[in-house]
Amino acid sequence: MSLKVTEQDRRRVRGTTLVFCVIFIVCAILAAVFAIITPRTQDIKAIGANNENITGLVETHDGSTYIIQSANWISERDSFTGEEILTLNITQAIKDKLAAHGESVANNSFTQMRMSVFETDTNKYFIAYDVNGNLFKLERNDNGQISVTDDYLLIKVVNEAFVPKNIKGMEAIGNKLYVLLLENNFFYVEEYNLDNLAQGALKRKFVWDISPSPEEGYIKIEAVKSATGVLSFYAHDGRLFFVKKGGGIIMMSTDLIDTRYGDGSMDFFADAKAAFDSVDKGLYNKFYNEEYIDTVVSKLLETADKKQLSKGGQPISKDEIIAIGEAYKAQSISKKVTIANVSASDADNWFVLQDFIDVFKSSEISDSTRSRVNQDAVTNATAAADGATKVELEWCKEYDANVMSMLVKEECLDKDCYNSLIPGESTINGMIYSRDNRAMYYSNASDGYLYVVSREDLEAAEIYSKVSTVAKRIDAIHCGKGQTFSDFGNGLSYNRFANTLYLKFANERRLVIVDINNAKSDIKNMDYKVVSSYIGAFDMYGISGDKDNSVTHVLHQVTKVDKKGVDHNYLYLCSYEPERFENKNVITVLFVIFLILAVVTFFISLWLLLSLRTDKGIKKVVFIAKDTKKNKFVYLALTFFVAMLMLFCYYEAVGAIAMSFFDYTREKPAWIWNNFANYVKIFNDQYFLPSIINMLFFLVSDIVLSIVPPIIFAILLILIRNKTTSNWVRSLMFIPGIIPSIASMLIWRVGIYGDEGLLNQLIMACGGQPVNWLLNKDYARWSLIMMGFPFVGGYLIFYGGMMNIPNEYHEAGRLEGLGTVKRFLKIDIPLIMPQIKYIFVTTFIASVQNFARTHILKSTVVTTPVQTMYTMMTEQANYGMSSAYATLIFIFLFVAIVTNFKMQKQDAMGADL
């Protein structure tokens, strides 16, 4: 090797250097190219002159364009290129139109305009609406311009009591427009004439929900309220479909009649109201009857003469009783009272009186009450009051205008007019109706599969039957399990042009594209561009796709946090081209490969260039080159192992340490630098010090228990005279190992430490009180340590070590006069030091990382850093904090192990000297 560097070597090294430089440049360029062509979803921020935020996304009649709307603007864009086709200031257009008709626009600001697009057999309609319920039809003229038509519907807002019409959805069949709205806490459906909106609502109807009634032969019908909510609404071929929160389906006839009963059609609410209104004073039910209230009040006063009345421990005076009665009557006369707008104090009175009435009527009142109240008088009064307002309706039994519920006869309900289904065993977060397929689709969050309910099955279903019994699972389509859509089912959309379903789950970046024709689903990662500090909750406001399903548009919410930590929500529209994304993973992989190659070749080139300068360097290069050539298969094989190592060890370790300095949670999966806040939080945590103490406590006990009892056991085994016995004992000691570790921990948790476990059974047998071994602070730590008693399981390593000590040592010891005890202390134990050190180090590492102990045994009173780390990672999904804990554990282990190795080295050196 000391030979002079030949000119040939020099040339070769130069050539190699050149080759590596070229490879580096090529790889760097390729990496850059792949980085550039990596498909990204395109984010189009708010449009419109004032840069207002998007409020809605609608598909046009043929799916070739889409329309995005901000508060005042609508903008039509090309579905593929995203280029703007036209933009209209809709508020201004409406105001101009109204001004042309000489209408006043006072009280109508037309601010929160929304839009829907319908296609019927003959026409396409664009309907714009606002919260007041103003409806405008938009028309496209021959020049392609959009203008407002003359047949608008203007709601005259006259007084402050006006209740806004919160429009939740629109659907059209023929020239009929059906509008779902939430008004006064109830859901209604209204019918309009699309050719002339100015006529106003032609029909109006509650959306009824059906549930079984305790009364034989009757069914309870109840108006759907905002709490039980309608998620989505579809109209098609004589039917309206309402999908309830939780997955129930309500079907209604488009005639908007409730039932056909007897000779003609019937309207539950209107008919019942008419019947009850016709009765004396128009009292809705017996609780509204003035006479009845008077009777009750007088009875109450009588009682009050004899003894103080009280409610909920509070005495009630006569004046109060009279006042309650008056308030009650006042409410009943105003008729329009609903529970919702009774003030809190009124509501109290209401229930006070109702309570008393219940007490009077109850047959289960105590004897003392019975003696105070003239039961007969009350019964007579009640009967009289009942009789006075008793409305005998053949089909309706109870009727409560306040909560809009009544009991109607079962045969009243005509399934063709009205039906309601409950979800059953499925977890349904939203459903969609496909007109072309005549079916409902939903994904069941419990198993992740797509289900289909055909219209025929739906119509044939019994009243109040389960959706799950009529639905069919499509085995080929899996949408991901346990997922939920955002509120109001916005994560679900159907593209009729491509017969495709889109499912977008709350807080997930994934979009599921379900191709119904080919019965396959495709789960795509939506690559939202991070436009602000982080992408927050991915709330959905709409998904649409074009006719070839080549572009999908997703309107999603981005939360931006300002410097003060305040969240600001913005809506973003992103366009997503599934086909372009087909190759995304390939491109990403290629990018990573070329990036790695570029980095590696860069360093090799740099080293070669530096080596070229000296003869020594060249010699080294030549040597390494020869070595590498000789061992090329070794290096080739090592590439695989090193790649695995980098991918599954180094990447994680480095990434976790880096992540510990950032805010990173499942809800906000972005790296936000937080000035060591994770560490500050950990060190300020009041549970941190106790958890460290617990960790050290377990560490010491684990190390002692994994070394001392096994060594003693091993020594005793060696001391057994009868070798057959020793053999048997060693065989038997393997057998408890057949219990899976988790099972043995669960046996300790339930079978031994449990409430009815062995220890408590023993204690109770001795007449003691059972102890909660794992949750009592005094016992928990010791219980956890005692798990694994008698701790001799790891004896085999020590036993093996001692058995392998050559007998000459023992002979020599015996000649020196060492007894049995001294033999082990002076000869055996020092000679099995390697085994002891091995167990020491492995136990040390395992003990600090042992989360299963506290986790599986559910001993929540004992925290350790690793348990906190696990909780942070799983339950809280706070990866930044979790990483910070992991980093601290790593530092602790690293320092401890390095110190240990250093000490060992010093010992070894000392021994050598």
Partner 1 sequence: MENKNLKIATPTVQPKEHTLLMPHEKTGVQVPILVFIFICLAFSFLPLFLTVVNALKTDVQVQTNAFAFPKISLIGEAVAHNFSTAWAAIGKYYFKTILVALVGAIGETIIGALLAYILSFKDFYFKDFVFLLFISVLLVPSIIGYPILVPLVRDTFGLNDNYAGYLIAMIGGSQVMGMFLFKTFFSQQPKSLYESAALDGANDLVILTKITVPLALPIILYYFVGCFSGIYNEYLWASLILNENQTLTNIMYAVVDSGAIKYGSMYAMYLIASVPLIITVAISMKYFKSGEFAAGLKL
Report the residue number, 212 or 655, with the smaller CB distance to partner 1: 655
Burial class from Cβ neighbours inside 10 Å (0-12, 13-18, 19+) for residue 49 reads exposed
* CB contact set of 91 (below 8 Å; sequence gap of 6+): 71, 72, 110, 111, 113
Of the candidates 536, 539, 538, 540, the one whose C-alpha atom is nearest the C-alpha of residue 562 is 536
Report the residue number, 701 or 744, with the smaller CB distance to partner 1: 744
Residue with tokens 């780390």: 869
8 A C-beta contact, residue 53 and residue 70: yes
Of the candidates 839, 844, 848, 864, the one whose C-alpha atom is nearest the C-alpha of residue 781 is 864
Of the candidates 514, 492, 495, 516, the one whose C-alpha atom is nearest the C-alpha of residue 505 is 492
Cβ neighbours around 591 below 10 Å, total? 19
Residue with tokens 């105003």: 334
Alpha carbons 618 and 607: distance in angstroms, whole number:
11
Rounded to a whole number, what is the distance in angstroms from the first to the last CA of the chain?
Answer: 36
Nearest distance, CB of residue 772 and partner 1, angstroms: 17
Report the residue number, 238 or 800, with the smaller CB distance to partner 1: 800
Nearest distance, CB of residue 532 and partner 1, angstroms: 21
Of the candidates 563, 254, 282, 287, the one whose C-alpha atom is nearest the C-alpha of residue 416 is 254
Report the residue number, 28 or 657, with the smaller CB distance to partner 1: 657
Nearest distance, CB of residue 695 and partner 1, angstroms: 13
**Hey, what are 893's tokens?**
């282990």
Beta bridge partner(s), residue 183? 186
Nearest distance, CB of residue 653 and partner 1, angstroms: 5
Alpha carbons 538 and 519: distance in angstroms, whole number:
27
Beta bridge partner(s), residue 522? 513
Report the residue number, 217 or 790, with the smaller CB distance to partner 1: 790
Report the residue number, 192 or 798, with the smaller CB distance to partner 1: 798
Report the residue number, 345 or 807, with the smaller CB distance to partner 1: 807
Nearest distance, CB of residue 280 and partner 1, angstroms: 58
Report the residue number, 467 or 848, with the smaller CB distance to partner 1: 848
Report the residue number, 538 or 870, with the smaller CB distance to partner 1: 870
Alpha carbons 852 and 858: distance in angstroms, whole number:
9
Report the residue number, 80 or 851, with the smaller CB distance to partner 1: 851
Q: How far is CA 779 from CA 701, 748, 757, 784, 861, in A?
A: 15, 14, 15, 9, 10
Of the candidates 66, 70, 58, the one whose C-alpha atom is nearest the C-alpha of residue 82 is 66
Check residue 657 and report its DSSP letter. H
Nearest distance, CB of residue 537 and partner 1, angstroms: 18
Alpha carbons 712 and 828: distance in angstroms, whole number:
12
Report the residue number, 12 or 730, with the smaller CB distance to partner 1: 730
Nearest distance, CB of residue 67 and partner 1, angstroms: 33
Dihedral pair phi/psi, residue 832, rounded to 5°: -100, 20
Cβ neighbours around 685 below 10 Å, total? 14
**Hey, what are 143's tokens?**
């020049």
Nearest distance, CB of residue 307 and partner 1, angstroms: 49
- Phi/psi region, residue 152 (left: phi>0; alpha: psi -120 to 50; beta: rest), is beta
Report the residue number, 126 or 799, with the smaller CB distance to partner 1: 799
Nearest distance, CB of residue 769 and partner 1, angstroms: 18
Check residue 495 and report its DSSP letter. E
Nearest distance, CB of residue 670 and partner 1, angstroms: 12
Nearest distance, CB of residue 867 and partner 1, angstroms: 11
Of the candidates 307, 362, 298, the one whose C-alpha atom is nearest the C-alpha of residue 325 is 298
Residue 208 CB-half CA count within 13 A: 30
Nearest distance, CB of residue 200 and partner 1, angstroms: 52
- Sign of CA pseudo-dihedral 249, 254, 257, 260: negative
Alpha carbons 5 and 787: distance in angstroms, whole number:
69
Alpha carbons 206 and 186: distance in angstroms, whole number:
7
Nearest distance, CB of residue 748 and partner 1, angstroms: 7
**Hey, what are 414's tokens?**
């005509």
Report the residue number, 390 or 858, with the smaller CB distance to partner 1: 858
Nearest distance, CB of residue 592 and partner 1, angstroms: 10
Alpha carbons 572 and 542: distance in angstroms, whole number:
11
Nearest distance, CB of residue 717 and partner 1, angstroms: 7
Nearest distance, CB of residue 622 and partner 1, angstroms: 12
Report the residue number, 463 or 758, with the smaller CB distance to partner 1: 758
Report the residue number, 29 or 634, with the smaller CB distance to partner 1: 634
Residue 764 CB-half CA count within 13 A: 11
Report the residue number, 424 or 751, with the smaller CB distance to partner 1: 751
Report the residue number, 433 or 798, with the smaller CB distance to partner 1: 798
H or E element, residue 680: helix 677-684
Nearest distance, CB of residue 852 and partner 1, angstroms: 6
Alpha carbons 627 and 2: distance in angstroms, whole number:
17
Polymer length in residues for the chain: 913
Angle formed at CA 780 by CA 774 and CA 784, multiple of 5 degrees: 90
